[in-house]
């Protein structure tokens, strides 16, 4: 578990207008280092760019559905 509210979340908010790609790469790097839970003050925003491309496996599709906000 890692916390990002004091550093990456703030950077995300400051740089939102100029693009989130650099910050997104930092969140992904944390996951590649083994973080399985990210504590963030921006769960909807971070979740969108980390998991928006995740496909629901056919074997689990009857249990999950994609919600669009």
Q: Is 26 domain-assigned? A: yes
Tell the residue number behind the tokens 């550093």, with chain if given: 7
Query: Within a domain: residue 68?
Result: no
Instruction: Note whether residue 66 is domain-resident.
Output: no
Q: How far apart are CA 7 and CA 55, in angstroms?
A: 29
Our count of domains for the chain comes to 1
Contact 28, 50 (CB under 8 A): yes
Give residue-wise pLDDT tens across range 36-64: 889 999 998 888 888 776 677 788 888 87
pLDDT digits (tens, 9 = 90+) for 2-37: 999 888 999 888 887 677 788 889 998 998 999 888
Residue 9, domain extent: 2-60
């Amino acid at each position: 578990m890692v916390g990002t509210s004091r550093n990456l979340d703030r950077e995300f908010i400051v740089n939102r207008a100029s693009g989130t790609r650099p910050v997104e790469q930092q969140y992904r790097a944390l996951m590649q280092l083994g973080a399985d839970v990210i504590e963030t003050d921006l769960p909807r925003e971070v979740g969108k760019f980390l998991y928006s491309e995740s496909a629901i496996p056919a074997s689990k599709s009857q249990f999950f559905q994609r919600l669009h906000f």
